[in-house]
Structure 1
């Protein structure tokens, strides 16, 4: 009896996998509400400067680099699904550890270098979870999704990342709203980190209900299981053809990383690096501080950050609705132009000292442009440009490069701002221009192509 495709089943497993994206966004954004409190509680009493402040706020990114580096090994050795389950456990540990870093070894209210190290350790643990999730979630969805809607489904992961950020901003605002800054500095920031435990637990439970990807199962010679999943997603007739294509690429491909040449690896790395060098995570991590510098108070700056998060969600939906219709390259190039306008605008405001509503508008133009382009589309391309046999390792390299670039940009922001706000934002604007040129010259269009067709394309140029 022929099985018909089950769109509800496909959406369900995509939604569960994308919860990893939500946790990715939540974990990276929750620090924005706690940043000033951590500085007052752990940095200032120890008389530590801007470098340690920036390194502490960005410490999770060290874990992200580690998680990105090991994601290929984990995805290939333990499977895509089990790697996501490990990430869920790490998120849970980080949530409680960062909320109460004094656990067992330190006394509350007595900041020491050891306590600062413990806090950074727990943030790094969560960062490893983020690094794993950031690589494996789009990989999982990309390997599950049919070619004609793959861009849309992988972009949904970015939607969940941004939704996670918005939820974190909203939770931060809810926790601090109506409370004194002293209460937030003493207790509120702990609640912000602890709130991560709820989606982390939900993610871990729901992962027990989803299957492994058919491409990974086929790689492990579990063809019957792979065919059953493909049949549920694509229907019985199409499933057999897809499995044959998968088996063919797995049989002929070498295990060497550069089997298809260095070009595909370099393009993957540069996509990742440009996504960070345009400065997006500066806007996300330090959003309340940026709005504070515009004269907003505590509640107002968190509210403006929440509004920015809502705009980000809306424009990520724009990307989801257009990526499989317009293609990857047009969206990336349009976004690069919008980001350049936004960042050069912020730089000009910083130069003239006219910080105000104009700055907010330029920041929103910048973040909206990113969210409709480089935010989701970079992950789409990373999930689909690499051939089956090397995908796990190649994605790991690209994601590790992305988090390394993220760490560099985020940790240097406080020092750069002490030197010159104009130069800082001007640099991000220049990177936006260069990103457009890079896409125009080197990035292939992948709209509507199966993962196996992309593999054939790279063979022809290797």
Structure 2
């Protein structure tokens, strides 16, 4: 049976979501692994003590830099992998590249769960990261290229609900394993690492039945196949809607235009804008990189991996801090449902704005109550509870806003000719932000404790003017139309929007007079923009 219409559309969404589920599980997994006494002893990170039947064995980290290094080296792998995946994805297609990334992941996961020392573990995490980088660079692009322009944000946001479900599964699996053998067993950390193989195998099986991106097929010169797949995805009641022909022709025009800019089809050319003319590829690269770096520095990397440490700082026992962290992850997952409903309706900019305000306030207050807790230990229950509450608030706001938007934005802002490489630049920023922060997090919490949260609060507030000035709205605009936004010589949003309106008026007038050209429609240098 050949799937069509909504069934095919939602099946693609579910299969992509399976890869994103793995991504979330893989990130969330290290939070529990880091606190496993046997893992701490194997990697020589510290020591463990028996705290009685209610707590079991509790690990104490004496080398936080080494602990952070094991976590952060994974992001060195994702940085390499996303650059590899961007090149391969534009060359051989989205589906084949995702399959290659999955093979890297399987190899890396097998090596990780059998690691016997820190060198082995670090090498395995780099290999695993390379595979994840492939998937992070291509899965959102594949999703964006099959989604409709009015539901593109919600389409990808739905997948990130599964991402956080992966975090939840990882956390509670590890929490449950902590009760086996008083928590001092190899299975407590080896089994959760091995379990990531299950969703990846499922993804690979499902991927074999999935269609290639019709936009990539057109770029590759396979027009008949592209139109057939686009018609199947957009079909309603087993018929082809009239909008398919228009969408198909729009893509053809943009592909023809972009072939004139082959010189920019390298990472070097994209970063410096070589040969991109008025398409301003370099500007888009910088926007993608910094949005992803800031996404991590608003604080989520610390909350995801080091939540038990934060709740322990709030005065909770190790076991209680662990289950509170698990409840926080569930709140995180549920909050992504808000993103599905609002990301296309309110737009990307509004989501980032209100997210930064809510997250910044929550971080400042969580840090303040953490300080009060230390100064007034007699009020531990009140101040500790307040700290935990604002961590929950922060996580919920992030899940509704900053979790999804920085992943959606790079998939929308690059031309088809370099879209996989463009999204890879976003993953480069994510890798830098994550690697940098996960390396510093244990050191920061060890040195300045609750003041770490104040640093994250400051970053949130500083992100507001950044988004206001430099990030134009992309919601409810066709992928082929977004080039118009970046045709302006000015990087400021107000100038880009004004230039966009002027180009739309010019295109309409030229269409009426019969003089419209693909170059004018895309706002290119050849069209004398």
TM-score normalised to structure 1 length: 0.92
Which structure 2 residues correspond to residues 27-38 of structure 1 after superposition, within 5 A?
27-37=26-36, 38=39
Contact 2:313 2:450 in 1 (8 A): no
Contact 1:219 1:250 in 2 (8 A): yes
Map of 1:307 onto structure 2: 327
CA deviation string 1:66-89 (max 9, x = no partner): 122222112112211112112222
Per mean C-alpha deviation after superposition, the further-off stretch among 283-292 and 218-227 is 283-292
Alpha-carbon distance, 1:181 to partner: 2.3
Q: Distance in 2 between matches of 1:174 and 1:95?
A: 21
Q: Distance in 1 between matches of 2:183 and 2:300?
A: 27
Map of 1:58 onto structure 2: 72
Map of 2:44 onto structure 1: 43
| SS of the residue 1:363 aligns to | helix
Per mean C-alpha deviation after superposition, the further-off stretch among 205-214 and 163-172 is 163-172
Aligned residues: CA RMSD:
2.0
Map of 2:89 onto structure 1: 75
Higher alpha-carbon Rg: 2
Q: Distance in 2 between matches of 1:384 and 1:44?
A: 42
Contact 2:18 2:203 in 1 (8 A): yes
Are 1:324 and 2:338 matched, yes or no? no
CA deviation string 1:367-401 (max 9, x = no partner): 11111111011111111111212212221112112
Per mean C-alpha deviation after superposition, the further-off stretch among 261-270 and 214-223 is 261-270
Q: Distance in 1 between matches of 2:393 and 2:32?
A: 22
Map of 2:135 onto structure 1: 133
Per mean C-alpha deviation after superposition, the further-off stretch among 342-351 and 365-374 is 342-351
Map of 1:219 onto structure 2: 219
Q: Distance in 2 between matches of 1:175 and 1:269?
A: 38
Contact 2:90 2:419 in 1 (8 A): no
Alpha-carbon distance, 1:337 to partner: 0.5
Q: Distance in 1 between matches of 2:353 and 2:165?
A: 24
Count of residues in correspondence between the two structures: 446
Q: Distance in 2 between matches of 1:263 and 1:324?
A: 23
Q: Distance in 2 between matches of 1:39 and 1:76?
A: 41
Which stretches in structure 2 are left out of the alignment for 5+ residues?
A: 48-60, 265-269, 375-379, 491-529
Structure with bigger RCO (C-alpha 8 Å, 6+ apart): 1
Contact 1:138 1:157 in 2 (8 A): no
Contact 2:344 2:475 in 1 (8 A): yes
Contact 2:313 2:370 in 1 (8 A): no
Are 1:348 and 2:368 matched, yes or no? yes
**Distance change (3 Å), C-alpha of 1:177 and 1:461:** farther
Alpha-carbon distance, 1:45 to partner: 6.4
Map of 1:357 onto structure 2: 385
| SS of the residue 1:59 aligns to | helix
